[in-house]
Amino acid sequence: MSLYTPLFHGSSLSDCFSDRALLQGMLDFEAALTRAQASCDMVPREAAAAISACCQAERLDSDALARDAALAGNLAIPLVKQLTAVVRGEDEQAARYVHWGATSQDAIDTGLILQLRAALEQAETQLNRLITALTRQVGDHAASLMPGRTWLQHALPTTYGLKLAGTLDALLRHRARLNEMRPRLLVIQLGGAAGTLASLKAQGPVVIQALARELALGVPDTPWHSQRDRLLEAAGWFAGLAASLGKFAGDFALLMQTEVAEVSEPVAEGRGGSSTMPHKRNPVTCAAILSSTGRIPGLMAALYAAQNQQHERALGGWQAEWETLPQLATLTGGVLDNALTLVEGMQVYPQKMRQNLDITHGLIMAESVTLALAPQMGKARAHHLVERLCHQALDDNQPLAWLLQQDETVSRYLSESQIASLLDPAGATGSADHFLRQVLARSKESL
């Protein structure tokens, strides 16, 4: 399905989960393991150097590995076999020390952690660029009045800047979660056959520390062969970030509808066209984001189900992670790239936003009239009165301002100029600017 890769998986995160990256992650573990053991005088240093020199993905036959993995049940078993043969061709004595004391899952899990470390670095770079671009757009549209919508209907006025600030606020939290998660996630796996590391006898803890130093990873208190909460947390971070951007893309696409036309995707040759309708400018970037975020919950469900791992080595649950987590991460990378394209080049039409505020002829401002009447009439009575006039405005297709001016009860308390002021959306955004400025301040401080 590589033809769809640029559309859904086209970010730099995909390189972190390529076949080469998968193999190199395990080989980096094998090289670091033998160097760690050499530093503890368990393996001759010459052997460690020879093994490390052979730990290059290009020296393995990936097609044979794929065939043999289908028989072995995992990729590490044929990888170790091939690596041993490569080392033997260079140094027959050194070949004796390949994969010394480790189990297949140690190589696969630690290799995956190395891939995730690289992927999170790429994701953070993308996220920082997105935060920077969104911060600029929030500032540019701080005063762009538009209808706030609840249940897909006009509610009260808001600003496009505040709408964007909500997404920015979420992205800042996702970045904070990333920094909090890293120390828990980025740890080695070395437990041997059953999680006791009995093969290394009393030297196990020393080798663990040395291996962690070699790979610049943390040291877990216990091997985590069948405790997969770390990977679930990483998956949840990717999924949560994608979900926040999916919400943004969904709103953006709704604002692009012909009848709304408050925003538009960036203009580019070939973007959003139709094979039959020359006038179309489809929200194709939004569609790419939403198609990915629609798939991610199913992948998360698979990873939750995979938490049920039997005893000290899983039967199916561990194996289910191998494709699922990389797919989730690379889909999120594509979402990040598409969101950046959207945010950096979005077209915004404040005049159309202002026009849309007026399509209900003042009904969107009915609450402000209710609140102005409430001190004199009581909240319930004022609400009932204004609601009746709103229904009349809809039924008779008349401006709310005119009906308010003609109503004896309303005119008793509010002058024509007061009614006009109450129905002006520019004065009804409440604390929107305050909320927006708080997010901007936090964003700029963090950047």
pLDDT value of position 281 = 73
pTM score, whole prediction: 0.92
| CA-closest candidate to residue 13, choices 242, 207, 229 | 242
Mean pLDDT: which of 12-16, 270-274, 285-289 is highest? 285-289
- Would you call 146 helix, strand, or coil by DSSP? strand
Whether the Cβ atoms of residue 123 and residue 332 lie closer than 8 Å to each other: yes
User: Got the DSSP string for 80-124?
Assistant: HHHHHHHHHHH-TTGGGGTTTT--HHHHHHHHHHHHHHHHHHHHH
**Mean pLDDT lowest among 59-63, 128-132, 133-137, 425-429:** 425-429
Mean pLDDT: which of 176-190, 260-274, 278-292 is highest? 176-190
Rounded to the nearest 5°, which phi and psi values hold at 362? 100, -10
- Summarised one tens digit per residue, pLDDT across range 105-123 is 999 999 999 999 999 999 9
| CA-closest candidate to residue 185, choices 146, 230, 216 | 230
Angle between helices 317-345 and 229-255 (to 10 degrees): 30
Q: Which amino acid type is present at position 102? A: A
pLDDT value of position 3 = 75
pLDDT value of position 47 = 95
Quick check: 279 pLDDT over 70? no
pLDDT value of position 284 = 92
Quick check: 272 pLDDT over 60? no
The beta strands (E) that lie in 161-290 are given as 263-264
- Summarised one tens digit per residue, pLDDT across range 324-360 is 999 999 999 999 999 999 999 999 999 999 999 988 8
Q: Give percent of the chain with pLDDT exceeding 90.
A: 78
Domain architecture of the chain: domains with CATH: 4-11+104-352 (1.20.200.10), 362-430 (1.10.40.30)
Q: What are the residue numbers of the active site? A: 274, 313
Rounded Cα gap, residues 207 and 268, in angstroms: 55
| CA-closest candidate to residue 69, choices 114, 26, 115 | 26
